[in-house]
Amino acid sequence: MDKRSKIYLAGHRGLVGSALKRKLESKGYNNLIFRTHRELDLTNQQAVNEFFEQEKPEYVFLAAAKVGGILANNTYPAEFIYENLMIEANIIHASYKYGVKKLLFLGSSCIYPKLATQPLKEEYLLTGPLEETNEAYAVAKIAGIRLCKHYNQQYGTNFISVMPTNLYGPNDNFNLETSHVMPALIRKFHESKVNNESEVVIWGTGKPFREFLHVDDMADACVYLMENFNAHDIGEFVNIGVGKDITIGELAALIKEIVGFEGELKKDLSKPDGTPQKLLDITKLSSLGWKAKISLKDGIEQTYEWYQSQIK
């Protein structure tokens, strides 16, 4: 990839896509192309083929996806499986058909079996049953990994897959029904503080462990891999994480402190816990020479500042 390469960034307005856009632009890549959802429906194969035929991108970052937190995944599984399968299949196939030099596909740590040994090594893929709350999304993401693998195998393409842990940061979805835990808790603690409320409700038991990576670190890792490696260096895919996790209860306590809320925590046990733990093994990533730089505390403080700037 050189600075003038034509790079298509799919999903440039989302959490990961917008971070990739900031990272690529700050590194001087000056031939980036984007389309909004309204301009290009990525679930429409014909529209995607026409776009690739016309634009002929040289590199693709596939950060477009239907994503959401535990409740959204559990409530709309048909949308999660259908939209993600269509987006991946259309973009990956068009990238092969129109000669893209390298593509980066983003998966998720929920692809691993629910009760896999921790930390999760890449080779644990498809060794056991998935977590029920996000099975639809996970199956779609596993299909994306295998599309890349088999296109590389049969057609000699250069499609890389990466599996990030739970991500957070600017441009996240802060809708309390559909978001992930991090933006939900930042918003809940903030609103309770501002409204002088006495308690904040967290979903589930607070016991599950989650690993959190700031999206600017994620973007940095993705660009680093695209600049320095090819699919055959990486193997089927590589985990992207920090190698450390905390419980949801500990996360809530940390956000409470950062926001400065002084009331109590209450648990809503009618909401699901999801998978008990999904800590990524980052041995392969470390051996490729990358590690995260943003601490969890700094990352949450920065994200809270961003959130406050948006609601003014």
Numbered residues of the known binding site for NADP(+): 11-17, 106-109, 141, 164-167, 180
Which CA distances in Å does 88 have to 146, 171, 180?
11, 22, 22
Dihedral pair phi/psi, residue 150, rounded to 5°: -75, -30
Specify the residue, 12 or 66, whose C-beta has the smaller distance to ligand GFB: 66
Pairing mode of beta strands 159-164, 166-168: unpaired
Q: How far is the CB of 142 from ligand GFB (least distance, A)?
A: 12
Neighbours of 176 (CB within 10 A): 14
Specify the residue, 213 or 226, whose C-beta has the smaller distance to ligand GFB: 213
Residue pair 52/97 in contact by the 8 Å Cβ criterion: yes
Return the CA Rg of the chain: 19
Give yes or no for residue 180 binding ligand GFB (CB under 6 A): yes
Feature table: binding site for substrate: 188, 203, 210, 273
Per-position x/- string for 122-151, each x denoting binding to ligand GFB as judged by CB under 6 A, each - no binding: -----------xx--x--------------
Alpha helices per DSSP H over 206-311: 215-228, 231-234, 248-259, 283-287, 296-311
Give yes or no for residue 181 binding ligand GFB (CB under 6 A): yes
Give yes or no for residue 274 binding ligand GFB (CB under 6 A): yes
* 137 given a catalytic annotation: yes
- Please report, as residue ranges, which positions from 160 to 179 form the binding site for ligand GFB (by CB under 6 A): 166, 179
Specify the residue, 170 or 274, whose C-beta has the smaller distance to ligand GFB: 274
Give yes or no for residue 267 binding ligand GFB (CB under 6 A): no
Pairing mode of beta strands 212-214, 166-168: parallel
* C-alpha count within 13 angstroms, C-beta hemisphere, residue 37: 11
Give yes or no for residue 215 binding ligand GFB (CB under 6 A): no
Specify the residue, 180 or 190, whose C-beta has the smaller distance to ligand GFB: 180
Catalytic annotation, pick one of 59, 96, 112, 137 = 137
* C-alpha count within 13 angstroms, C-beta hemisphere, residue 299: 21
- Catalytic residue set: 137
- Give me the residues that bind ligand GFB (CB under 6 A), please: 69-70, 73, 108, 110, 133-134, 137, 166, 179-181, 184-185, 202-204, 208, 210, 248, 271-274
